[in-house]
Amino acid sequence: MKFVDEFRDAAVITKASDEIRRLADPGRQYRFMEVCGGHTHAIYRFGLKDLLPPNIELVHGPGCPVCVLPMGRIDDGLSMARDPNVIFCAFGDMMRVPGAHGSPLEHKARGMDVRIVYSPSDALNLARKNPEKHVMFFAIGFETTAPSTALVLMRAKEQGIQNFSVFSNHVTIIPAIRAILDSPDMRIDAFIGPGHVSTVIGCRPYEWIARNEGRPIVVTGFEPADILQSIVMLLHQIRAREAKVENQYKRVVAWEGNHAALKAMAEVFELRPYFEWRGMGFISQSALRIRPSYAQWDAEQRFETPGVRVTDPKAAQCGEVLKGVLRPAQCKLFGKECTPERPVGALMVSSEGSCAAYYNYEHRKHSTLTTIGAPA
């Protein structure tokens, strides 16, 4: 299959892996953070850790939008959909994320009208087809998905579709990276930079990471060969004692980003003064809300938003795992109370969450049993 097979080619991958071993100084440790959940998933899905020398540690970053969403936001969204006239739509990733009183899927089983959509325009179509209902789209994602939400809101306004609204949970990646670099327990040597986010924002917004923080960052694609090549590029920079922004994912990412997408986002969204991130606390100017000119389609304006704040279960160490301080299996609940099927923390839900990726692809390489029982 074109655009996939050439990046999974065994010869290319083996060559990159050999190159990494040649470049890595056996006398030191390397800690590289892959910011994106998509990278975390690919690293485990393709068994890439097996191809790296032991002194290169990949630390999983905060770039999984489902994972960083505080539980209260899910409860807020579900409380809007309690009205039997409302159809609740979200991406499939959201469906098993636990709220305080169950996940969207559990609410669906109890009769709530919950639908999985693959794009925000599916949700808008649903509103067109069901004029007697109100369709609420639970929007989530970084700059990757925010433009498509923006376009759909622009279309709803143009076409005067009244029975549609968006509950915006869009977040932005740069403040999260800044929070990680500001965190005293973080020791990251370099970054495997976001791929899909960068298709929208381009590479310029990362320049401060290289210039001010002295950390190399390489914008990276999601196939095995992409990720290994990016590690090669990071090692070259470290050997040369350089820190710059490089673009490995040139086939998709333009240095300046996507102007049309940025324009649509600016038309519809504005920065929130602050937003709570699961495990990381409140981060200023890190999330997007809908501008007053689109208030009619803003679910937070149309519905009562209880503003529920739910603290995560004490024993769950999502925050430490999210910041890369703990590895997934070091959390006390990992694989016991918390599994992909019955997740306690959100990192276990999304396929991009580091705990789910680790559980699905890595953990069981060393365990001896397929667990299908309910948690004790």
Closest CB to other proteins among residues 103, 258 = 103
Does residue 167 sit in helix, strand or coil?
strand
- In the complex, the smallest distance separating the C-beta of residue 50 from other proteins, rounded to whole angstroms, is 5
The contacts of residue 144 (CB under 8 Å, 6+ apart) are 196, 197, 199, 200
Tell me which of 4, 129, 184, 241 binds other proteins, using CB under 8 A. 4
Stretch that binds other proteins, among 128-136, 235-243, 288-296, 361-369 (CB under 8 A): 361-369
Closest CB to other proteins among residues 185, 368 = 368
Residue 25 φ/ψ, nearest 5 degrees: -80, 115
Asked if 51 touches other proteins (CB under 8 A), the answer is yes
Stretch that binds other proteins, among 9-17, 57-65, 234-242, 300-308 (CB under 8 A): 9-17
DSSP-assigned letter for residue 48:
G
Site for other proteins in 327-346 (CB under 8 A): 340-341
- In the complex, the smallest distance separating the C-beta of residue 228 from other proteins, rounded to whole angstroms, is 9
Closest CB to other proteins among residues 27, 111 = 111
Side chain identity at residue 169, one-letter code: N
Beta strands, E only, 142-244: 164-170, 190-193, 217-219
- In the complex, the smallest distance separating the C-beta of residue 336 from other proteins, rounded to whole angstroms, is 14
- In the complex, the smallest distance separating the C-beta of residue 117 from other proteins, rounded to whole angstroms, is 8
Closest CB to other proteins among residues 122, 312 = 122
Tell me which of 54, 160, 241, 374 binds other proteins, using CB under 8 A. 374
Asked if 129 touches other proteins (CB under 8 A), the answer is no
Residue 111 and residue 276: Cα distance in Å, rounded?
30
Q: Using an 8 Å Cβ cutoff, are 206 and 219 in contact? A: yes
Stretch that binds other proteins, among 4-12, 158-166, 240-248, 300-308 (CB under 8 A): 4-12
- In the complex, the smallest distance separating the C-beta of residue 121 from other proteins, rounded to whole angstroms, is 9
Residue 227 and residue 303: Cα distance in Å, rounded?
43
Beta strands 114-116 and 269-271: pairing type?
Answer: unpaired
DSSP-assigned letter for residue 15:
H
Asked if 132 touches other proteins (CB under 8 A), the answer is no
Crossing angle of the two packed helices 10-23 and 224-239, in degrees rounded to 10: 20
Asked if 369 touches other proteins (CB under 8 A), the answer is yes
Closest CB to other proteins among residues 23, 105 = 105
CB atoms within 10 A of CB 301: 14
DSSP-assigned letter for residue 359:
I
- In the complex, the smallest distance separating the C-beta of residue 366 from other proteins, rounded to whole angstroms, is 7
As given in the structure block, the two tokens for residue 130 are 């069901």
Tell me which of 61, 224, 324, 328 binds other proteins, using CB under 8 A. 224
Site for other proteins in 82-111 (CB under 8 A): 92, 95-96, 105-106, 108-110
- Classify each residue of 360-376 as buried b or exposed e, where b means 16 or more C-beta atoms within 10 Å of its C-beta: bbbbeeeeeeeeeeeee
Kindly report the CA angle at 174 between 169 and 179, in degrees rounded to 5?
A: 95
Beta strands, E only, the chain: 30-36, 56-63, 86-90, 114-116, 134-141, 164-170, 190-193, 217-219, 245-247, 269-271, 274-277, 281-284, 288-290
Closest CB to other proteins among residues 207, 341 = 341
Closest CB to other proteins among residues 18, 242 = 18
Tell me which of 45, 155, 157, 272 binds other proteins, using CB under 8 A. 45
Asked if 17 touches other proteins (CB under 8 A), the answer is yes
As given in the structure block, the two tokens for residue 231 are 């590690």
Asked if 368 touches other proteins (CB under 8 A), the answer is yes
- In the complex, the smallest distance separating the C-beta of residue 189 from other proteins, rounded to whole angstroms, is 23
Residues that bind other proteins (CB under 8 A): 1, 4, 8-10, 13-14, 17, 44-48, 50-51, 92, 95-96, 105-106, 108-110, 118, 122, 224, 340-341, 351, 359-370, 372-374
